[in-house]
Amino acid sequence: MKWRVRLLPDKTEIPFLRWRKSLFAISATLAIISVALLSSKGLNFGIDFEGGILIEVGTEEPAKIGEMRSALGELGLGEVSLQEFGSDTEVLIRIERQADDAADQAAITAVRAALDSKYVGELSYRRTERVGAKVGAELIQAGAIAMVLAIALMLLYIWFRFELPFAIGAIIALVHDVLLTIGMFALFGLEFNLAIVAAILLIVGYSMNDTVVVYDRVRENLRKYKKMPLVDLLNLSVNDTLSRTVMTSLTTLLALGALLIFGGEVIRDFTIAMIWGVLVGTYSSIFVAGSVLVYINPGKGTNMTKTSFGGAERTAKLDGAVQDEAVQRFAALPDLGEENAEASETEVTEVSPDAELTGSRARRRATSSRERRNKRRRKKRR
Amino acid sequence: MLRIRLWQVIVVVLVCAAAALFAVPNLFSQNSLGNSYPDWLPSQQVNLGLDLQGGSHLLLEVEVAKVMEERIDAMVDDARTALRGEKIGYTGLKRRGEMVVLQLTKLNFLEKARKLLEDLDREAIVVSSDDGAFQVTLSEAAVAERKNSALSQSIEIIRRRIDETGVSEPTIQRQGDDRILVQLPGLQDPERLKRLLGKTAKMTFHLVDQSVSDTDVARGRLPPGTMRLPSDDEIDEAGNPRYYPIRKRIMVSGDSLVDSQPTFQDNQAVVSFRFDASGAKKFGRVTQENVGRPFAIVLDGRVISAPVIREAILGGSGIISGTFNTQSARDLALLLRAGALPAPMTILEERTVGPDLGADSVEAGKIACLIGLVAVIVFMLLYYGLFGIVADIALVLNLIIIFGLLSILQATLTLPGIAGIVLTIGMAVDANVLIYERIREELKSGRSPFSAMEAGYKRAFTTILDSNLTTLIAAVILYIFGSGPVQGFAVTLGIGIVTSMFTAMLVSRFILVWWLKRYRPKTLPL
């Protein structure tokens, strides 16, 4: 099929890990810049966290923002900002938090009265949002807890499914992604609100998803190539999964691109956050997540890391044993016909995911279950 | 992995068919569903959040502490009366936080005083020390019970007030110990409702203290038992409200009102009211005894009007005249009918979306969804060819199942929820991509199509599980900690992850295996 698109050659051998020092330097610099931006410039908190009032009005004619601004400025409500929102007939009005909830209410009433009397019947109120100080503080707290909890749970999950070095590597990649995303918000002064926290949590999930795919391959290759130096092995794993990583990121970006262009103004920042997060997440799972494993395993960088990846090594042995066993079984079987042969063949090549079983137990288990199955099969044939 | 049992296929087909059945109503307008859609089919549509259908979301906080303060204040008054009645000397009797404190001047009445104080309330806990200091509190259970009932009562009053305004299908939910979440779908302008909800509407009738001169009122020099209350509408030249000297004693309380209506008197909007039997009796007696004296009608600490009683009002009904316009008379009548809140209430959070914006968002979401879908479908087709078509079928089924599930669960679809669906479109193919890339690799290592498929599915499975579970963790946490719209995002994302695993591991596998067995290709077009 000639018409089909090929993004990457079938087999890539890109030496990602050779560049790891400079890439780490870039990533670390970006992360540090993000932290610096965060502490110096800070985030442009939306009313969800800061408290305050947001009113979106629609006008029939292109809105006269200057005129509106001066009309609202006379109300003495403190800082009032107006900006076009998506089109020239939509205006977003932001009013800083007033002394208390009652004053906030009064401010909304005053703004509406001022606008209604000036533009009789020409305005529609598309959206009014007001968050009091108390709720804002609670939302900040809930957001922070959610973020920390999400990262902690993922760490636990990776730790449980893989091994500690993988978990640490994944968390480094994750924190990197989150920092860079928040840094981007600080840099461009984009509004940081509840939806953005949701986007960051999604990025956390997405980045982890990508990282897990790479690590899954690292784990598999550790079993497969016991003699390969770690750096080469990591590089191979990243290359193995490269096409998948790129593909999934592309389809996700395609969908998000549609959302960015057609999804409307209200969720634009949310979409930008997600797009950026996917980009950063993809970058980190290709360039950071794999490479970082080299450093988490200090001193054994080029060795096969028998000590720290002990579990993997055990599994490798176990797989070999199972495989041998199965081959013998397979050889001993009478001619099974095509379909059964297929099934047996897969058993031969099966890589057991049970990392924690001891060799003999697993072998016994594998053997007995195979015997049962084979018995069934023979019966069936009769 | 290549062995597929008939029951598996049946289950998957049934699931897909059921999902489609529940998803289909979403394609029709509400109107045509009501008229021409067959009755026996499910016709529930996805529940749109307030940000999509327009409406108002208000988070209210009831100051339940005020209820306790009032109760303790009343206990202070009772304690004063009781101790005075028994001629027991005391100093420093007052409320401190949620307790009554006092100090006996002589220690010989310790036991008697304790007895009196314990009688203040059935749940009173009296702590005394040997030097005659007393602290009276209410038991924790009693405090909790009072706060709880204050909140339930508030919810009831709010419901009545909202029902009176004619807003349809309001949701009024208790949140935590002192909050009430009010959701009003379709409400375009919540200003009036907010005004109505923000009023305690506690109405009382008092006598005006005529013994106090205006200058004394202005300086705040008042005899005990009299308080200074501002007028609701009378303002002097300096813009300050006029103050009235009002006797603290409540002659008749608004609790005894049974009805209240806006009406007109001499072309002026007024509010009529009617008392229940006991209220009418009380009101009759008070007016009879005080003909010719001014009588203040106090609402939420402001004097609405203080007319002079011309004659005894024995029928139990009367009229409040102030400077009302039609709207404010209607609002006051409504508030009096619905009853007073047990404690003041503040609006902590408001989110109102007009119907225009909601409709715009739905429209934008639909377009984004469709274009995203088409883009991904075309891309997958170009990249994977035949296998891409299978992935695309899985993707479309995936969307159908998502909408079916949303309809069945009656989960609320919000704007971020739509974003979640669009995102799912992009991410759902991931499972298939993982499988295909794996199959490709297995093919490269020289396997036959059959064995490559088998190995591809098998090996990709754990990866898919591991990687999707991490995103699922994020979705669950979002659901737990998020509010409103963000929860909607978590719901669609979570459902999308599960359904994409379902379609990739089952639907696309079934199709490919069927194709493989049917055509037995020598090479796979991957």
Domain boundary residue among B320, B349, B378? B349
Buried b (16+ CB within 10 A) or exposed e, A30-51: bbeebeebbeeeebebbbbbbb
Which chain B residues touch A202 with a CB distance below 8 Å?
423, 471, 474, 478, 489, 493
**pLDDT, mean of residues B178-205:** 87
pLDDT over 90 at B174, yes or no: yes
Does A323 touch chain B if contact means CB atoms closer than 8 Å?
A: no
Query: Final residue of a domain: which of B311, B331, B349?
Result: B349
Amino acid at A137: A
- Average pLDDT, stretch B220-231? 85
Of B365, B440, B470, the CB nearest to A157: B470
Q: Determine contact: A282 vs chain B, CB below 8 A.
A: no
Residues B327 and B413 in one domain: no
Q: Is residue B139 part of a domain?
A: yes
Task: Encode pLDDT of A344-374 as tens digits.
Answer: 444 444 444 444 444 444 444 444 555 555 5
User: Tokens representing A332?
Assistant: 């001993």
Same domain, B367 and B482: yes
Condensed to tens digits (0 to 9), the pLDDT of residues B464-493 reads 988 888 889 888 998 988 877 788 889 999
Same domain, B321 and B292: yes
Q: Residue A356: its pLDDT value, please?
A: 40
Clarify whether residues B207 and B337 are in a common domain. Answer: yes
Phi, psi of A344 (to 5 degrees): -65, -40
Structure tokens at A275: 């797009």
Q: Do B368 and A149 touch (CB under 8 A)?
A: no
State the CATH class of domain A52-131. Answer: alpha beta
Residue of chain A whose Cα is closest to the Cα of B476:
A150
Q: Which CATH code fits A16-43+136-296?
A: 1.20.1640.10
CATH code, domain carrying B360: 1.20.1640.10
Please tell me whether residues B404 and B508 are part of one structural domain.
yes
- Between chain A and chain B, how many beta carbons pairs sit less than 8 Å apart? 259
Q: Is A161 helix (H, G, I), strand (E, B) or coil?
A: helix
A29 CB within 8 Å of a chain B CB? no
Pairwise CA distance, residues B257 & B247, whole Å: 21
Cβ–Cβ of B419/A5 closer than 8 Å?
A: no
Q: Which residue of B has its CA nearest to A51?
A: B349
Low-confidence ranges of chain A (pLDDT < 70): 1-3, 297-382
Classify residue B171: in a domain, yes or no: no
Number of domains forming the structure of chain B: 3
In a domain, B157, yes or no: no
Task: Tell whether B38 is covered by a domain.
Answer: no
Searching chain A, which residue's CA lies closest to the CA of residue B374?
A255
pLDDT of residue A205: 87
Q: Which one of B294, B314, B349 terminates a domain?
A: B349
Indicate whether B389 and B477 sit together in one domain: yes
| B422 and B490 inside one domain | yes
Q: Which domain holds residue B225?
A: 199-349
Q: Determine the pLDDT at residue A259.
A: 94
Partners of residue A130 in chain B, C-beta under 8 Å: 347, 349-351
Q: How far apart are CA A77 and CA A108, in angstroms?
A: 10
Q: Do B481 and A216 touch (CB under 8 A)?
A: no
pLDDT at B56 over 50: yes
CA distance B358 to chain A (A): 8
**Strand order through the sheet with B55-62:** A80-85, A87-95, A52-59, A123-131, B345-353, B55-62, B179-185, B171-175
Q: Could you state, in order of their start, the residue ranges of all structural domains in chain A?
A: 16-43+136-296, 52-131, 310-381
Q: Are B258 and B276 in contact (CB under 8 A)?
A: yes
| pLDDT in the model for residue A382 | 46
**What's residue A381's pLDDT?**
52
User: Is residue B466 left, alpha or beta, with left meaning phi > 0 and alpha meaning psi from -120 to 50?
Assistant: alpha
- What is residue B94's predicted lDDT score, i.e. its pLDDT? 87
DSSP string, B420-443: HHHHHHHHHHHHHHHHHHHHHHHH
For residue B189, being part of any structural domain is answered with no
Residue A4 in contact with partner chain B when CB distance is under 8 A: yes
Q: What pLDDT, on the 0 to 100 scale, is given for residue A347?
A: 40
Count CA within 13 A, CB hemisphere, residue B488. Answer: 21
Q: Please state, in angstroms and rounded to a whole number, the distance separating the CA atoms of residues B491 and B57.
A: 20
Q: Which domain CATH number covers B221?
A: 3.30.1360.200
The CA distance from B325 to B485, in Å, is 39
The one-letter amino acid code at B276 reads D
CB contact under 8 A, B368 and A261: yes
Asked if the Cβ–Cβ distance from B426 to A256 is below 8 Å, we say: yes
Chain B residue numbers with beta carbons less than 8 Å from the beta carbon of A146 are 477-478, 480-482
Average pLDDT, chain B: 88
Give yes or no for residue B238 having a pLDDT over 80. no
Enumerate the H helices of A41-122 as residue ranges. Answer: 47-50, 65-73, 101-118
Q: Return the CA Rg of chain A.
A: 29
Q: What is the pLDDT of residues B319-348, one digit of tens each?
A: 888 888 888 888 888 888 888 888 888 899
Name the residue of chain A whose CA is nearest to B470's CA.
Answer: A205
Task: For residue B352, give the chain A residue with the closest CA.
Answer: A128
CA distance B360 to A367: 63
Residue B307 DSSP code: P
B220 and B318, same structural domain? yes
Of B348, B416, B423, the CB nearest to A101: B348
A213 touches B: beta carbon within 8 Å: yes
Residues B110 and B257 both lie in one domain: no
Based on the domain organization, do B135 and B271 belong to the same domain? Answer: no
Name the residue facing A109 among B191, B353, B481 (closest C-beta).
B191
Q: Are residues B223 and B340 in the same domain?
A: yes
Interface of A with B in 52-81 (CB under 8 A): 56, 58
Pair (B378, B343) in one structural domain = no
Helix orientation angle between B449-481 and A133-161, rounded to the nearest 10 degrees:
150
CATH number of the domain bearing residue B129: 3.30.1240.20
Chain A residue with minimal CA distance to B190?
A: A128
pLDDT at B222 over 50: yes
pLDDT band at B435 (very low <50, low <70, confident <90, very high): very high
Give the pLDDT score at A378. Answer: 55
Cα–Cα dist B153/B172, whole Å: 12
Is the Cβ–Cβ distance between B489 and B416 less than 8 Å? yes
Separation CA A215–CA A238 (nearest Å): 9
d(Cα B60, Cα B348) in Å, to the nearest integer? 6
Residue B155 lies in a domain: no
Query: In A, residues 129-148, which contact B (CB 8 Å cutoff)?
Result: 129-132, 134-135, 139, 142-143, 145-146
d(CA A42, CA A189): 9
Of residues B456, B480, B196, the one with CA closest to residue B340: B196
- Which pLDDT does position A319 carry in this prediction? 43
Listed in sequence order, the residues at least 6 apart from A228 whose beta carbon sits closer than 8 Å to its beta carbon are A221, A236, A304
CA distance B69 to chain A (A): 21
User: How many other β-carbons are positioned within 10 Å of the β-carbon of residue B32?
Assistant: 11
A7 touches chain B (CB under 8 A): yes
